[in-house]
């Protein structure tokens, strides 16, 4: 059994993917081919954003938005404590200060009260300038942008949607990567929409921001390749990855997104109330990057993971350590306590989740979890 079965996906899409890659090889348009431009338009149309700028990976996408907004030393950027390291890393990389806030236990996403408490604490201290809120669409579900946008407006902050895991999710029909002042995503192979290497994208409705992002992605270029109008870097999605993503985006829209939600429904029905399950609030729709259980404590979580491995069932812990406990952030001031994050890091366990999971595999996972818990 695979945790995220990319082999099975390739078997289903093999002809289309092989043909798409072969076309790139035949034309030798490895950098900046038409497939990249086509994909950017398709992604923007799907999300409902005016511009989509593809880049080398999701971390670059986040960093480029810090650059576009001029985030610098002395600025405070508010980041969930329960997320992947990159969400805070890019803040420190910009010489700004990450300020960590807590998440909700039911959705794993931003706790609005904790966020506002952190903002007030920074304002009261008067040392840093609050600039940006980063909200993460964890495990496939968008954060509560209705409330986040109110907080951002109240304190005059920019809001960045980190949709690395959220692509395909929705709130009342509005798609992930269309919220806030800008949004980013990742095409890492195991993401809801993944390529065969690294890749990322930024979504914005602002023409000037889009122009700036296109420029810095290619060494700060101006009107042509050797006209460099600013300091940039090299962060491009190559044509082969774009070709693969075009095929996968079609499958994602046609059946993968609905199929993975069907898998989630089966898990939820079969698990019942024997274990704490992920919650999707009314009006929200998840792309299920992960299906994450919560156990009673760390000992039970670790023992269950061991039992599953012995039964041939892969599982993962996302994430075992809060952001504020990362060694790299040892010198960063803690403005609010994050007890939910601390608990989640000890109790979460993600089980196999992908659109190609069979009923037999689902039953096996549920059966082994129930066997251990009972």
User: Domain boundaries in the chain?
Assistant: 6-100+110-247, 255-373
pLDDT at position 262 is 98
Integer Cα distance of 213 and 54 in angstroms: 9
Phi/psi class of residue 80: alpha, beta or left (left: φ > 0; alpha: ψ in -120 to 50)?
Answer: beta
Integer Cα distance of 187 and 74 in angstroms: 31
CATH architecture observed for domain 6-100+110-247: 3-Layer(aba) Sandwich (3.40)
**Residue 305, SS3 per DSSP:** helix
Q: What is the mean pLDDT of residues 337-349?
A: 98
pLDDT at position 50 is 98
Name beta bridge partners: 292: 350
Neighbours of 233 (CB within 10 A): 15
User: For the chain, where are the E strands, in sequence order?
Assistant: 51-55, 75-80, 97-101, 129-136, 158-162, 170-171, 174-175, 182-186, 200-204, 284-285, 291-294, 348-351
Extract the tokens encoding 226: 């050797």
Percent of the chain with pLDDT over 70: 100
User: For 205-329, where are the E strands, in sequence order?
Assistant: 284-285, 291-294
Alpha helices, H only, 80-133: 86-93, 112-125
Rounded to two decimals, the pTM is 0.97
pLDDT at 353 exceeding the cut of 90: yes
**Banded model confidence at residue 277, pLDDT cuts 50, 70, 90:** very high
Name beta bridge partners: 174: 171
pLDDT at position 225 is 84
| CATH number of the structural domain 255-373 | 3.90.1150.10
Burial (CB < 10 A; 0-12, 13-18, 19+), residue 22, is: exposed
Q: Which of 200, 202, 205 is nearest to 214 (CA)?
A: 202
pLDDT at position 119 is 98
């Amino acid at each position: 059994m695979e945790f995220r079965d990319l082999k099975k996906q390739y078997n289903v899409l093999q002809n289309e993917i092989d043909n798409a890659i072969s076309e790139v090889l035949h034309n030798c348009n490895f950098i900046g081919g038409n497939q990249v431009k086509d994909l950017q338009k398709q992604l923007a149309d799907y999300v409902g954003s005016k511009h989509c700028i593809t880049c080398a990976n999701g971390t670059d996408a986040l960093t480029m938005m810090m650059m576009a907004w001029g985030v610098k030393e002395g600025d405070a950027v508010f980041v969930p404590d329960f997320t992947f390291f990159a969400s805070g890393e890019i803040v420190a990389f910009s010489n700004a200060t990450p300020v960590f806030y807590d998440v909700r236990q039911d959705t794993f996403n931003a706790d609005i009260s904790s966020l506002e408490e952190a903002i007030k604490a920074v304002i009261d201290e008067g040392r840093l300038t609050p600039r940006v809120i980063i909200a993460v669409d964890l495990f496939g579900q968008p954060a509560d942008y209705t409330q986040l946008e109110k907080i951002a407006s109240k304190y005059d902050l920019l809001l960045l949607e980190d949709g690395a895991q959220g692509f395909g999710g929705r709130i009342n029909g509005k798609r992930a990567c269309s919220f806030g002042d800008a949004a980013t995503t990742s095409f890492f192979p195991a993401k809801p929409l993944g390529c065969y290497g690294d890749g990322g994208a930024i979504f914005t409705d602002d023409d000037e921001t889009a122009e700036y992002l296109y420029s810095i992605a290619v060494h700060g270029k101006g009107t042509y390749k050797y006209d460099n109008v600013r300091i940039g870097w090299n962060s491009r999605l190559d044509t082969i990855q774009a070709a693969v993503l075009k095929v996968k985006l079609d499958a994602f829209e046609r059946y993968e997104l609905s199929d993975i939600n069907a898998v989630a429904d089966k898990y939820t029905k079969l698990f019942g109330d024997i274990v704490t399950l992920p919650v999707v609030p009314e009006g929200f729709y998840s792309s299920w990057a992960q299906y994450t259980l919560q156990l009673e404590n760390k000992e039970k979580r670790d023992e269950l993971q061991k039992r599953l491995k012995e039964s041939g069932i892969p599982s993962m812990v996302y994430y075992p350590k809060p952001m504020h406990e990362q060694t790299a952030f040892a010198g960063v001031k803690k403005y609010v306590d994050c007890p939910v994050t601390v608990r989640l890091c000890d109790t979460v366990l993600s089980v196999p989740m992908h659109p190609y999971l069979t009923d037999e595999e689902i039953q096996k996972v549920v059966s082994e979890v129930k066997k251990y818990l009972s």
